[in-house]
Structures are given as C-alpha cells and as structure tokens.
Amino acid sequence: MKAMLLRVGIDKSSDGVLAPIFPEGSFEYIPLSEKDEKSTENRTYQDLTGTRGKLISSYLPSSVAQRKVHLDPEFTTFTYGDVGRKANYLLKLNPGDLLVFYMGLTPNSVAEYPEALYITGYFTVKTVLDFKNIPLPQVKGIQEKYSHNSHLKRRSDENSMVLVVGSPEKSKLLDKAILISAKKLNKLGRAYHAVSPPLEKLLGIKGSIQRSIPPRFIEDTDKLVNLRELLGM
C-alpha cells in the first residue's frame, strides 16, 4: 500500500483566489475554473452549494463567480481524472492505495488558521481507468456514469485520460482541514510553501509542495499508519 499527495482546488495562479477556511477549521472545497473552451461543462460557481449551505460563488469575487467550474476531484461519486504528467503518476496507484488531496486555504474572517496548504480529503482507490486502453463506446459509458466530474466533459481528453475511482465507503471530503505546510524562504528571499516540520516528521516527506507536480508518495509502513490516523481512518 502507498499514498499519493496531490494539490487540487482553486488557487491564485488559476483564478487569483483561494478557498476559505473558517475559525473552527472547517472549509469550503472550491474547484478550479474550467479553462477548456470546448468542454461541455455548463455549471458555474453560482450552481454549486457549499457545505455551509451557501453558494460557492458567495466566497468569490464577481469576476470569478460566473466562471464555469472544473469540478475534479468530485466527492459525489469520488472520481479524479487527469492527462499528461499527472496521468502518468495516477497510473502508479493500485486498488487500496490512498489518493490524498490538499489545497490552498485562506482565513474567511478571523485569522485563527494561517493562509497555507491543508489536507482536505482523500480517496481509497477502488480502480484506476486508463482511457488509452478502453474502447470509445465504453468511454462514453464511463462519462455518463461519472457525469459529476468536469474532466470527463473535456472531449479532447477522452482518449488520453486516466480516471481514479475511489471506494465510496472509504473516501471522503474532510470536515476539518489539516495543516500541512509552513512558509519558508528561498535563496532569493521569496516565500514558498514547504511541508511543515511536524508533518515532515510524521509523514516522512519534505520540501516544497506548492505545486502538484511532482506529487509526493508515502510508502513507508509506519508513515502510512501515521497518515491514516491523521485522516481519522
């Protein structure tokens, strides 16, 4: 068994904003906006309701709120898909492995929690589907079955995507975010997000996790036990 940590969600480089974290540690999962103009996705941030019962768009500036969403991962049927370099990493996952998601969050009001990177959910892998090896008629069926996932609405990717499907009973969006990063300075004095010292010791990973590529893998048995306890599994 192993775990892969992957950054997801809206961020400053994609849409100029981060999702909120609240004083008690809960948060809203806000996905990226959809950049593929040929995608058949028609949902916007104004169509998604968050865990607190408010529209996701209410946490976003008006310039972003009307954009179409790229809802991936999605926590209704527990799927995550991608192409290219990320897809190659996804192919390393096997049933029973963990795909752990983290994202950038910023305080909604009182700054009890810092603007940082937080673990926000996970999948226990049920299956990994490589669309390169699946006949197109079957791909169409997968797209219909997992229609909540925006990446499956990108027709340009239907011959090259890798889709991870999580076990519904063993996958979840967390109730409270888990801080994973601390700000450090590089040689030029610029701040970046690295694994915090407590999590570095707990999980055996270190260095910058500001970007999702390359993802971090955890394979040590003891560290995996620590991760499962951290996630409340």
Residue 111 burial class via C-beta count within 10 angstroms: exposed 0-12, middle 13-18, buried 19 and up: exposed
Strand (E) or helix (H) holding 98:
strand 98-107
**CA nearest to 126, candidates 95, 155, 154, 160:** 95
Residue found under tokens 């599994």: 233
The conformational region for residue 78 under phi > 0 = left, psi -120 to 50 = alpha, else beta, is left
Looking at residue 62, what is its pLDDT? 93
Render each residue's pLDDT in the chain as its tens digit; 233 residues: 999 999 999 999 989 999 999 988 999 999 999 999 899 999 999 999 999 899 999 999 999 999 999 999 999 999 999 999 999 999 999 999 999 999 999 998 777 789 999 999 999 999 999 999 999 899 999 999 999 999 999 988 888 999 999 999 999 999 999 999 998 888 777 888 999 999 999 999 999 998 888 999 999 999 999 999 999 99
Whether 25 and 177 have beta carbons less than 8 Å apart is answered as yes
Q: Measured between alpha carbons, how far is 123 from 135 in angstroms, rounded to an integer?
A: 26
Structure tokens at 111: 């700054």
3-state SS, residue 217: strand
Residues making up the chain, counted from first to last: 233
Which residues fall within 8 angstroms of residue 126, CB to CB, at 6 or more apart?
78, 95, 165, 166, 167
Going by the DSSP 8-state scheme, the letter that residue 45 receives in this structure is G
Which pLDDT score, from 0 to 100, does residue 158 have? 83
Q: How far is CA 175 from the centre of its chain?
A: 15
Q: Which two tokens stand for residue 120?
A: 């926000």
Name the region of 208 (left: φ>0; alpha: ψ -120 to 50; beta: rest): beta
